[in-house]
Amino acid sequence: MKKLLNKLIIIEFEDKESEKGILINYSKDWILLKSNPVDFILDGYCAVKNHNIKNISTNDETEFIEKAMKLKGVSVDKKIQKLPLQSFDSIIDNVNKNFGIFSLFKKKDNVMYPGKLKKLTEKKIVLTWIDLNANWTGNREFMKDKVRKIDFDTDYLISLKLLAENK
């Protein structure tokens, strides 16, 4: 993995769609990417649980896209590189403190659960939920071991947060 740092990679899973992004950091349990959802676009970051991974690779397409990003001067914020990946709690605490909003994705679905941290317990996370109209609407509870991905600093989440703050 060390040789893939700062490279655009594709993570293939056994049980869900692939993730693509620039590898920023990794630990035994988590992989941190600058997200590349499509083409030459980077949009936020994701911490991906190191679970059910089939393959991590690069190819001619990722190398081409990576070259374009370098030519555009794309870089990774220094504070992101220092995001602690030791545990779910350390990631959530840091992301909540620095960005104020994030999204959770559970094990086997592509449903996004956006919000901000309300409470962490030993087994659960409680979010203050934000709806599609940027209203903070109540709390949602999730089992921490069911969370597979944490997105943050995306255009969508930044927009929801700004709209909620300016109602």
pLDDT at 69: 87
Sheet containing 19-26: which strands, arranged edge to edge? Answer: 53-57, 8-13, 19-26, 30-35, 45-49, 147-152, 102-106, 112-120, 124-130, 136-143
φ, ψ (nearest 5 deg) of residue 78: -60, -35
Considering the entire predicted model, what is its pTM?
0.92
pLDDT at 60: 92
pLDDT at 24: 94
DSSP state of 41: B
Tokens of 59: 């190819």
pLDDT at 22: 93
pLDDT at 76: 73
Alpha-carbon span 82 to 102, nearest angstrom: 18
pLDDT at 109: 67
pLDDT at 111: 87
pLDDT at 79: 73
pLDDT at 44: 94
pLDDT at 162: 97
Q: Which of 70, 145, 150, 68 is nearest to 115 (CA)?
A: 150
Query: Which residues of the chain carry a pLDDT beneath 70?
Result: 108-109
